[in-house]
Amino acid sequence: MAVYPDSPAGFPRHLQAGAMRRRFWGVFNCLCAGAFGALAAASAKLAFGSQANVGFCTVGIIVMATTNSLMWTFFSRGLSFSMSSAIASVTVTFSNILSSAFLGFVLYGECQEVLWWGGAFLILCGLILIHRNLSPPRKAFPHKQQ
């Protein structure tokens, strides 16, 4: 059976069944990936700080490698559950930004400026737009026969 460009493309069966459950696990895995990415960056900053001794540096490298591996594992799982790689990428980015802000405040006492929070808010608005349910496609008008 030939597929014509004017025919509507439906989702495959494995994406139709349990779509909400798949969306939840996709978002959950992407949020975990962003958090592990922030942990990897924080452990690298702690390990290679100016006052780090050799033992602390070794532990920091091991923690960084472990959390980096977990980040990629959760990101690939999030990609497999998501409907789009763009949705997964933006979700991981947002989670990483918020996790980095939290860890920066807890570990280093860093406070973010209003402009930074404005950018995070705009990313959140974009996430809301791409995660909302898309309306069903409108029925095409019948073609005139000449």
Question: pLDDT at position 11, please?
Answer: 52
Question: pLDDT at position 84, please?
Answer: 82
Q: What is the pLDDT of residues 126-138, one digit of tens each?
A: 888 887 765 555 5
Question: pLDDT at position 85, please?
Answer: 86
Model confidence pTM above 0.85: no
Calpha distance 43→60 (Å, rounded): 5
- Give me the helix-helix angle, 54-81 and 85-108, nearest 10°: 150
Is pLDDT of 145 > 70?
Answer: no
Spatial CA neighbour of 95 closest among 42, 9, 37, 16: 37
